[in-house]
Structure formats: C-alpha cells, structure tokens
Amino acid sequence: MDTISDNNRTPAETPVKAPELLIWVNEKNEVIGYGEKLDTHIRGQLHRAFSIFIYDPERRALLLQKRAKGKYHSGGLWSNSGCSHPRKGETWSQSLSRCLQEELGLDFPVVPDLSGSPEHDFTLAGEFQYYSHYGELAEHEWDYVFLCRRAISDEQIILNHDEAEDSMWISPAKLDRWLDERPEDFTSWFAMAYQLIKKLI
C-alpha cells in the first residue's frame, strides 16, 4: 500500500496545533472553565498558574532567571527559576516537566509531592492569589509554588532566550538583601512566592 509522508501533505491536511487552554477558577479555586492564554489575560480571568524555585543544596543557592525583554509583561525583571500554567488535561508532572524543559532545558523526572512534605525533593510549598495589571493585559492567578531541591550543573542549564535572557545562582541571604534594597528588580509575584519556599530551605 502506498503511504503519504507528512512532507507531502497539502496545507489543508497539515495538523493544527492545539490551543493552550488555561484552567479558569473561582475564588474557591474551583474549576469553572477553560480559555486560551491571550484571551484569559485580556479578560483578567482568575486562572491556575505555578512557580518553581530550584534550590541546589550543594551550592546552598537558588536559581533565578531574568525574564526575556520580549515577554508581554515583566520583561527584563528577575524572577523564580521557572513559571507557567497547568493546561487542560495535563497532570502536575507533565506541566512542571514541560516548564523546566521549555525555559531551562532541564530534563529529569518530576514527581511532585502535593502534601508539602519538607523531605520530598519536589514539593508544593503553598498557594496564593494575586492580581497585576499590565496595560491591556492582566495576570490574575491562583499560583501554586513548588520547591525543587536538586544539584544542577551550569552545563545542564540551556536557557530558552524567548523566555529568559539570563540566570544566576544566589544564596537566600544575598537574595533577602537584594529584595529589601531593590524590590523593583523583581516580578510582582516573586516576593510572595519566595516567602512560601523560605521555610523549606
């Protein structure tokens, strides 16, 4: 039987990329629907998101990333190791792994502990809700904050420059001083998320 390769498809037959559907929630964090990313941020609709902090116990330091200047908001500001949104139909493991791969080039199994156990190497440190307005768009998020304890070499980190233009390792003590002296260097959600993981490092 003859087969048709993907290269021979007509434009009408080319698979269409599925939309990135974010999870809409109410003030009780109950799912009320789904929406595309841009539309969600135009509406300022409350939706689920997550922030990842990587802490290397050998360095005794946290990995920060500097957001790419081309991002639709907070470009050029420092933030946590990675952040994204869980998508409709994804497990937590899939969402967190995708984020680490897309932003930092890190590829390792992620099995998050949602109970908040301080003994687990990838644990949920807490949740909070925030709202930040950026011109015609807004971030209105129910943010899950995860702490990943893992030794990572600089060679393992391959920044996606569409997402992050720089990264650094920093001790909690130096980060505390920096936040006190120049809070404007950081994204609007960073300080709130950082407070949740401090008790675990």
d(CA 127, CA 51): 10
CA distances from 185 to 24, 59, 64, 117, 175 (A): 29, 23, 12, 31, 11
Q: What are phi and psi of 74, to 5 degrees?
A: 60, 25
3-state secondary structure of 199: coil
Q: Is there a catalytic annotation at residue 148? A: no
d(CA 150, CA 107): 12
Q: For residue 47, give the H/E element and its range.
A: strand 47-56
To 10 degrees, what angle do helices 190-198 and 172-181 make?
Answer: 150
Q: Which position among 99, 141, 148, 163 bears the catalytic label?
A: 141
Q: Is there a catalytic annotation at residue 99? A: no
Q: Which position among 83, 99, 103, 148 bears the catalytic label?
A: 83
d(CA 147, CA 163): 20
d(CA 107, CA 139): 28
Q: Catalytic residue numbers?
A: 83, 141
